[in-house]
Structure 1
Amino acid sequence: MNDNNIPIVEPIVDYTKIPPIHQRRTISFINHFIVTTVAFLNKFSLKCEEKLYEFENKLQKLEAAVVILESRLASVPGLENKSTVAVDCDDAQSSNTVEKENDSESIVNAEDVTTQNLDETKSSEVTTVENVEPISKHPLYEKYFKMVNFGVPKPAVKIKMAQEGLDPSLLDDPQQLIPKESPSGVEE
């Protein structure tokens, strides 16, 4: 007996007197094990590939949706100007404090100068705005922006633009202004 008072059961079978399993039977057991294991691994890898494929499709749909949302956000006027408006307000406040310190005569003169400058810039802006348009509305580039809006990946559209001899970097900024007439040296 053992120290823990647990009886030890010894086998009464003498393994030397038992005949061995036939080799064919052993080989068939091993073959069956290999076949079932390989079948399981094949099914497992197939399921993993299917799930990865589905996940990749979902990612592509999400990327297309994000691109569409980014283009919609880029087309909203005023989003990019909010940061510049805040800077302009700070500049205006600082210029107002400087003007308060000056005499009233200098304030009147400064206002006249700024009104003249504003009039000049407005007239120059009117002439330049009439001759330019956003690149997304330009007839030469409009189809590429439509491709992106319909979900075609941007890198694929950029490759297409490069194949047709256009600058693919123009696709990154749909609000970029270009002259209304077609660019020189580019055939439609």
Structure 2
Amino acid sequence: MDEDGLPIVGSGIDLTKVPAIQQKRTVAFLNQFVVHTVQFLNRFSTVCEEKLSALSLRIQQIETTLNILDAKQNNKHEEALQKTEIVTENMRTVAKDPRYARYLKMVQVGVPVMAIRNKMISEGLNPDLLETPDAPVPAWGDDGNAEDSSDSESSFSD
């Protein structure tokens, strides 16, 4: 015995004289350990599967929401494009304006461009618009010539 009164277990004991542990008792302890471990792992697996299932459902909901938002954005974009197309269809271009269309036809036929430009200037039209037939037509009073507008202003100021 040691100073606390506990028996000293050590090399002084002959283990051959100590009785063996009952095998049935050892097997029962091992079986209990295995059963409890398997139950724990089964519960852990079930909880993990439930959480993964809930997470998968949440991801599907988010994907659905994103698809809906994307579809709405695409619809708005398409509507904006359609409105732009309608505006451009309604907008009169140089090629559609009868004042400029005949000069564009002359260019296609092969009339010298300088002659066409001179004719347009004499009629008060902007000859630079021959190069941009898809541009919007300037208003009747605004043909794009700054020189003409300054001349008209100066004539009124006298």
TM-score of the two chains, using structure 1 as the length reference: 0.39
TM-score of the two chains, using structure 2 as the length reference: 0.46
